[in-house]
Structure 1
Amino acid sequence: MNWSRSLQISAERMSVVVADAGPLIALGRLNRLDLLPFLFSDVQVTATVLDECLARPDLPDAKRITDALSAGLIRRCPDALSTDDGPLDPGESSAIARANEIGAGLLLDDRAAVTHARALGLKVIGTLGVLVLAKRRGKLQEIRSLIEQMRRAGHYLGDAAVLAALHAADET
């Protein structure tokens, strides 16, 4: 199955997602947190993930995440009891545990965390997947400039993932 088809199938099955800090920060930097409620009926963020996102309240992305929370674009949820997830950070562990507890999808970028979540049978979509899906559903005209902004801001994106996203968005 190709990446494009996989994205479509996974995203169609996710109406509720639990978000990790990386995608929230990336979308906050892009000022595109509005994409989340357009694509998902409920976007939950654990207390641990929120603490990570808001650790530097002076940053624009932290302010935008706070505003998204106040506007109801994302929703604070309790942390779930997590098992020892080895090398994962506390936010990733709490997001995975919450998604597993309630049967939700995950908004997650970190490769090790994605691998762990998928091994548990969880559906995962990353920031690039959100951008592709938003374009497919008519919310974005193009994603290339957003990807370039993410890279300039220091968000690591592998070349293969970028090429796959651009292909899935018909921007190759």
Structure 2
Amino acid sequence: MQISAERLSVVVADAGPLIALGRLHRLDLLPFLFANVQVTATVLDECLAHPDLPDAQRIADALSSGFIRRCPDAAAADDGPLDPGESSAIARAREIGAGLLMDDRAAVTHARALGLKVIGTLGVLVLAKRRGQLREIRPLIAQMRSTGHYLSDAAVHAALSAADEV
């Protein structure tokens, strides 16, 4: 697993990683890894659509705590099959020259084709371990899988290898 986003200081987050980190109770990792985590209004609406869910409550708390910051939607291009949140995150990242925090494979491929740097949830966990914020990532990966977050065996193996947990 390549953690090419290690030098990112500003990222625009999509809903998937925020929800995953919210379910893990680890949104607190974000300010240790990035100077500024922006979330577009469209993505935030997706994250908070079900305010009774614990992950939505944790995302709202992260917003209140300043771990993540609401930002305006940029004028999104027609990004074909991407959902509105992914399109808004990509447009905002392009507008301000930031990286992306995103998991969806099609959206990541599209963003990288546009020249954007992307880090996903597994990359965040690996980076957090490398920076001393986590002792191990294996239990968090198991928890992600148990709560329905799809992770391919290859991605898990790459993350565990990058985190020296193979």
Q: TM-score band (shorter)?
A: over 0.9
d(CA) in 2 for partners of 1:11, 1:100: 15
- Unpaired runs of at least 5, structure 2: none
| TM-score (norm. length: structure 2) | 0.99
Question: For 1:167, what is the secondary structure of its paired residue?
Answer: helix
Equivalent residue in structure 1 for 2:82, among 80, 88, 92: 88
Verify: 1:166 aligned to 2:160, yes or no.
Answer: yes
Verify: 1:41 aligned to 2:68, yes or no.
Answer: no
Which aligned segments of 4 or more residues in structure 1 are displaced greater than 4 angstroms?
none
Q: Superposition pairs for residues 1-150 of structure 1, below 5 Å?
A: 3=1, 6-7=2-3, 10-150=4-144
d(CA) in 2 for partners of 1:156, 1:36: 21
d(CA) in 2 for partners of 1:100, 1:133: 23
Equivalent residue in structure 2 for 1:151, among 124, 138, 145: 145
Contact 2:126 2:159 in 1 (8 A): yes
**Count of residues in Structure 1 that have an aligned counterpart in Structure 2:** 166
Overall identity of the aligned pairs, in %: 84
d(CA) in 1 for partners of 2:109, 2:7: 19
Q: Deviations over 1:23-77 (max 9, x none)?
A: 0000000000000110000000000000000000000000000000000000000
Question: For 2:17, what is the secondary structure of its paired residue?
Answer: helix
Question: For 1:140, what is the secondary structure of its paired residue?
Answer: coil
d(CA) in 1 for partners of 2:38, 2:48: 15
- Unpaired runs of at least 5, structure 1: none
